[in-house]
Amino acid sequence: MTDATRDYLVLGAGPAGLQLAALMEAGGDDYLVLERAAAPGAFFARYPRHRTLISINKPRTGSEDPELNLRLDWNSLLSADPALRFTRYSDRYFPDADDLLRYLADFAEPLKDKIRYNADVVRVERADHGFTLTDGSGREYRGRRLIVATGVSKPYTAPIPGIELAENYADISTDPKDYWDQRVLIIGKGNSAFETADALMETTALIHVAGPSPVRFAWRTHYVGHLRAVNNNFLDTYQLKSANAVLDGTVRGIERDGDGFRVAFAFSRVNEVVKELRYDRVIACTGFAFDAGIFAGAARPELTIRDRFPRQTPAFESATVPGLYVAGTLSQERDFKRSTNGFIHGFRYAVRALHKILRQRYADEPWPATPVEKDAITDAIIARVNRSSGLWQQFGVLADVVTVDGEQAGYHEEVPVAYHLEGGLGAHRDAFVVTLEYGPDHDAVDPFDIEVSRISQDTPGQAHDAAYLHPVVRHYRDGALTGTHHLAENLENRWDRPDVHREPLRAFIAAMVAP
């Protein structure tokens, strides 16, 4: 059986697929979502394994502004319906994954006629009409364009001899009693590794967490995928010499040793000295990757970053398969370990940008722009940076772009920076690109060093030295960068003081658009 050809097929009904479906539904697009599971958000039915999300949820903010509140709500999808806010589903700062499943089910309910559940796609092929997808029952679905929103669904296998002997984070028991008095090696230094270590350290004899890279803390790098404080109780037990340890180095091999395992480990801090260590269990917590197994022939996208993601253009399109786009976690190839495309609170805005790009390309619909008087550009920018959630969450990746042609100016919201720079909004004589950004060396700065904060806090002349999040406005003339202005950072993230923020910005804009 073959379905009618759609303009868009969306593969996956996780958060990204649902976000795109909601936007397409509102836009009147011809689309169908295919989901292999019987319900939306199937990834979260299993992950995280110990069921506590690290995406924050803050129902009480002291503000009634829904846009501003999204800065502290990392689980909601974008919707005009106030009932479809995740903050109504849990009061916990770090909520349970089951609450997210309930939320996604409710979000999907109005879209159910456009979602085909239990459609386990086993093959994706190119065709004259675009793409043909075939499910396990032999049913075919045809689409002129394909948007892949499947996420990173396949555990990433590290290239370690004997890694097949290890248990994987995807399959381990989550009952701490199953690890009673055992020596456990956890390979990996991300959140899944430390989540597991924290959950098991009360019942194990000892735990070693091992990997070649040093532990990187989200509070220092500002990348929320690095180790979060909620998962690092284990580090106390290491630094206070309570049997557990973090090992810096490389696992050279894993072999069976009776009822346990013998692991060859090369320590990076002592000139690659190799020691043999014995454990009762070895657990691999080495992350996830895109599963490209269903893509055949010319439909198979080129992969990058250790084959974990499809390589993409600034428009979220496959670099090698025209008409194939990605949405959601897969789009983090664009800002890998720098910003937030790998997480709901980031990719919800990237998906909205993708929808605008699709409307530009296939519906001849220009990027929405609000007319602005030239002398009101400063006020428009100040208003946006003080309440925008999209710029806040997608720091350095999404920008508001103010284009100026003669006496006409247009304010375009949340444009991917790279997409604008390659001409996505067309040619304009003057353009101001507005982002929120951390300082270029922010991850090398001690965030608790009061001298660093004192230097740039509310100080216009030193704003370019700010390490913390602050607005940056760049001016381009005929596509070439001609000037950059930093607004001084502020403790409460309010960039609206007349002398510190408004007037320096107004002077910069006036100088840049002068004949």
Residue 8 bridge partners (DSSP): 31, 145
At 145 the pLDDT is 98
pLDDT value at position 256?
95
Q: Of residues 465 and 338, which shows the higher confidence score?
A: 338
Please tell me the CATH superfamily of domain 163-284, with its number. Answer: FAD/NAD(P)-binding domain (3.50.50.60)
* pLDDT tens digit sequence for 383-423: 999 999 999 999 999 999 999 988 889 999 999 999 999 99
Partners of 278 in the beta sheet? 262
Closest CA to 114 of 207, 231, 60, 33: 33
pLDDT beyond 80 at 211: yes
Least confident residue range of 134-143, 224-233, 463-472:
463-472
Per-residue model confidence (pLDDT) at position 444:
66
Give phi and psi for 42, each to the nearest 5: -60, -30
Task: State how far the Cα of 197 lies from the Cα of 223, in Å rounded to an integer.
Answer: 21
For residue 453, pLDDT over 60 is answered with no
What mean pLDDT, rounded, does the chain reach?
Answer: 93
pLDDT digits (tens, 9 = 90+) for 346-360: 999 999 999 999 999
Q: Is 205 exposed, middle or buried (0-12, 13-18, 19+ CB in 10 A)?
A: middle
Predicted structure pTM score: 0.93
Instruction: Tell me which residue of 168, 163, 162, 187 sits closest to 249, measured CA to CA.
Output: 187
Work out the pLDDT band at 456, boundaries 50, 70, 90: low
The stretch 322-345 carries a mean pLDDT of 94
The position carrying tokens 């804009």 is 509
DSSP 498: I
pLDDT band at 439 (very low <50, low <70, confident <90, very high): confident
Query: What is the SS3 assignment for 381?
Result: helix
Token output for 382: 């100040």
Q: Is the pLDDT of residue 463 over 70?
A: no
Query: What is the per-residue pLDDT for 241?
Result: 83
Length of the chain: 515
- Weakest mean pLDDT among 287-296, 394-403, 436-445: 436-445
Mean pLDDT of 62-67: 93
Instruction: Give the pLDDT of residue 126.
Output: 96
The kind and range of the H/E element at 16 are helix 15-27
Whole-Å CA distances, 465 to 14, 321, 396, 483: 40, 42, 16, 16
Q: What one-character-per-residue DSSP string does 244-301 give?
A: -EEEEEEEEEEEEETTEEEEEEEEGGGTTEEEEEEESEEEE---EE---TTB-GGGPP
Which residue's structure tokens are 């984070």?
A: 169
At residue 238, the pLDDT reads 87
Q: What integer pLDDT is reported at residue 452 of this predicted model?
A: 56
- Rounded to an integer, what distance in angstroms lies between the CA atom of residue 244 and that of residue 235? 8
pLDDT at position 269? 74
Q: Evaluate if residue 450 carries a pLDDT over 70.
A: no
DSSP state of 191: H
Where exactly does CATH 3.50.50.60 map onto the chain?
2-154+288-363, 163-284
What per-residue confidence (pLDDT) applies to 276? 94
In which band, very low, low, confident or very high, does the pLDDT at 317 lie, cut at 50, 70 and 90? Answer: very high
Residue 242's pLDDT is: 84
Among 368, 354, 379, residue whose Cα is nearest residue 412: 368
Give the pLDDT score at 253: 96
Instruction: Give the per-residue pLDDT at 344.
Output: 96
Name the CATH topology of 2-154+288-363: FAD/NAD(P)-binding domain (3.50.50)
Per-residue model confidence as pLDDT tens digits over 115-153: 999 999 999 999 999 999 999 999 999 999 999 999 998
Stated as kind and residue range, the H or E segment containing 146 is strand 140-148
| Rg value, the chain, Cα | 25
For residues 409-431, one letter each, b for 16 or more C-beta atoms within 10 angstroms of the residue's C-beta and e for the rest, the string is: bbbbbbbbbbbbbeebbeebebb
Query: Does position 447 have pLDDT exceeding 80, yes or no?
Result: no
Per-residue confidence (pLDDT) for residue 369, from 0 to 100: 97
pLDDT value at position 279?
A: 98
Q: How confident is the model at residue 244 (pLDDT cuts 50, 70, 90)?
A: very high
Task: Report, as an integer, the average pLDDT of 95-115.
Answer: 97
